[in-house]
Structure 1
Amino acid sequence: MGKLAFVFPGQGAQAVGMGKDIVEADPEAKRVYEAADEALGMALSRIILEGPEAELKATYNTQPALLTTSIAYLERFQARYGLKPDYVAGHSLGEYSALVAAGVMSFADAVRTVRARGEFMEAAVPSGQGAMAAVLGADREALKSLCASISGEAGIVELANLNCPGQIVVSGSVAGVQAVGERGKEAGAKRVIPLEVSGPFHSSMMRPASEKLAGVLSGIEMARAAIPVVANVNARPVQDPAEIRSLLVEQVYSSVLWEDSVVWLIAEGVDTFVEFGSGSVLAGLIKKIDRSVTVHSINSLEALEKFQIESV
């Protein structure tokens, strides 16, 4: 068997009721949700399990909610199977779940940090001034050049998420993102789909949020990663706490190099990925990057129990 990586989804994967089956079946999983409530001093678990959806979709709720769900599934999985990965990685917000999995941050600190991160990201750009869009079928370098030329004319637009071949998310000002919609064909885009988001995440417009986050992170105790964490910013493994801190600050306004991270992991010998949390977004992206690898999504009690039959 090759190497094993645990991966964790980011914003967009959330759904009302995520983790409900495991919370109802497992007192230990329920304790993870209770610990999140305690860390924040609010009933986050009620929003996760019951909604309403509009409340869950608020960035400052979505981020701790996804982290909590991922860690609940991860802890129950590890209690059952005792598997230790060779690497961990997360998509944007999911990087914090990866850091908890690697022993860098405590769960309570991570929940509080991503709550603050969500608030800072939401407040960084006045409502209605920023936008994001998924660009399908474009050539990466051609799209990068197009964004650079638009940024010089119509307003900021940058590559935000490099998810898999043919799927790149752009982010920036409303005018900049609209211009990519109008001129995307120049970069080979087949479709440009506006995304429902509350801000231009992973663009230089998020620098005010990153500065505030730096202040929060400076007060968080971090240990050396017990498992290498493949960082979004440079798609390379990191273990040193000081380096992790600075990469987390940079991550807020930088591209999420997800495709590059997965390609690097596969080149290092990873042939099995296990995704923890809501949905199976990352499983889909990983399969588009390399169909030959094995991917499991631990996103329900059934998936957790079925894993044993398939894999161990």
Structure 2
Amino acid sequence: MSKTAVVFPGQGAQYVGMGRDLYERFPEARRVFEEASAAAGFDVARLCFEGPEERLQLTEFQQPALLAVGVACWRVLAARGLEPAAAAGLSLGEYGALVVAGVLELGDAARVVRLRGRFMQEAVPPGEGAMAAILGLEARAVEDLCRQVVAEGAGVVEPANYNCPGQIVVAGHRAAVEAAIVRARTAGARKAVLLPVSAPFHCRLMEPAAQRLAEVLAQVPLRPARIPVVANVTAEPVTDPERIRELLVQQVHRPVRWEQSVRRMQAEGITRLVEMGPGKTLTGFARRIDRSLEAVPAGTVEEILALVARPEGGLLA
């Protein structure tokens, strides 16, 4: 029998217009946007639907916006019978997974991720940090070349995201990231390019942001998870609220182990991932990790209705 996990994407999945069809079609989705707006302190629906794109790109606003769209997708499917066995999310997406698991209230999550985005943006002065995607090298090769660059004194650079086989993102000081790109190309990488991001996420340069986030999270009530949430930092399922609090702080400055998280869910018997929110990034990663794992997007009305309409034995069985 199939076991389903719901997964939530991170930053980069956003686009102007995301979630509008859900808002117009489903009252459950409208309530999510209203709740997120009240908690985050700005009109989340308007930003998602109308932009401007420049504001949606700002980490402080992008994080609550993506959270709202993902949770809206979840609430619509939950109202129609979806009962997942586990949840996970890439970086920011982990907060959506924690809402699904009952650890966080949506309002608390929206407030926290807006501050999280602000802290991450302010941790490194503009222009000093960077991230790069390296495609076509094994993880160990990327780790080695990062160590070589650091040993040469170019600055900090280290793996930030283990997305799927042959796709690693690195982050750190801009000069060090650029040096890592050169080394990766020399080592035979199929592609090594800077990413259009505003800060070097998930590396040690984010430690100041993690410290500030810890102070915020200390005041936020967390409950035991109803279903296991596979944590980015450890790629292990977790249900204890205090351990979750610790891992959310660590997540800011440690790498996201997404490939390992997916494989861990498979080891727990998960056979299907449903991606909640805009885009199909995690669906694509899943297919590169293991093609036997079913992965389906659920970010639009059309996609959600297609899932609900599956015959007996399908998604909602």
TM-score normalized by the length of structure 2: 0.96
CA separation in 2, counterparts of 1:41 and 1:5? Answer: 31
The alpha carbon displacement at 1:46 in A equals 1.0
* Matching of residues 245-264 of structure 1 within 5 Å: 245-264=245-264
CA displacement, residues 27-47 of structure 1 (integer Å, 9 cap, x when unaligned) = 221111111111122212211
Letter aligned with residue 93 of structure 2: G
Q: Quick check: 2:172–2:205 contact (8 Å CA) kept in 1?
A: yes
CA separation in 2, counterparts of 1:201 and 1:138? Answer: 21
Secondary structure at the aligned position of 2:220 is classed as coil
- Comparing 138-147 with 186-195, greater Cα deviation is found at 186-195
Letter aligned with residue 183 of structure 2: R
Per the alignment, residue 287 of structure 1 pairs with 287
CA separation in 1, counterparts of 2:167 and 2:207? Answer: 24
Q: Aligned-pair RMSD on alpha carbons?
A: 1.0
CA displacement, residues 240-260 of structure 1 (integer Å, 9 cap, x when unaligned) = 011000000000000100000
Work out whether 1:91 is the aligned partner of 2:90.
yes
Q: Quick check: 1:137–1:167 contact (8 Å CA) kept in 2?
A: yes
Counting matched residue pairs gives 311
TM-score normalized by the length of structure 1: 0.98
Per the alignment, residue 122 of structure 2 pairs with 123
Q: Quick check: 2:40–2:64 contact (8 Å CA) kept in 1?
A: no
- Comparing 37-46 with 165-174, greater Cα deviation is found at 37-46
Work out whether 1:276 is the aligned partner of 2:279.
no
Structure 2: 5+ residue runs without aligned partners?
none
Secondary structure at the aligned position of 2:127 is classed as coil
Per the alignment, residue 267 of structure 2 pairs with 267
CA separation in 2, counterparts of 1:302 and 1:2? Answer: 23
The alpha carbon displacement at 1:88 in A equals 0.4
The alpha carbon displacement at 1:291 in A equals 0.5
CA displacement, residues 57-111 of structure 1 (integer Å, 9 cap, x when unaligned) = 100011000000000010011101x221111000000000000000001000000
Letter aligned with residue 168 of structure 2: I
The alpha carbon displacement at 1:187 in A equals 4.2
CA separation in 2, counterparts of 1:305 and 1:196? Answer: 33
Work out whether 1:215 is the aligned partner of 2:227.
no
CA separation in 2, counterparts of 1:112 and 1:196? Answer: 25
Q: Quick check: 1:139–1:188 contact (8 Å CA) kept in 2?
A: no
The alpha carbon displacement at 1:158 in A equals 0.4
Q: Quick check: 1:161–1:202 contact (8 Å CA) kept in 2?
A: yes
Q: Percent identity?
A: 50
Work out whether 1:66 is the aligned partner of 2:38.
no
Q: Quick check: 2:185–2:192 contact (8 Å CA) kept in 1?
A: no
Structure 1: 5+ residue runs without aligned partners?
none
CA displacement, residues 110-152 of structure 1 (integer Å, 9 cap, x when unaligned) = 0000000000000000000000010000111111011011112
CA separation in 1, counterparts of 2:295 and 2:92? Answer: 20
User: Which of structure 1's runs of 4+ aligned residues deviate more than 3 A?
Assistant: 185-188
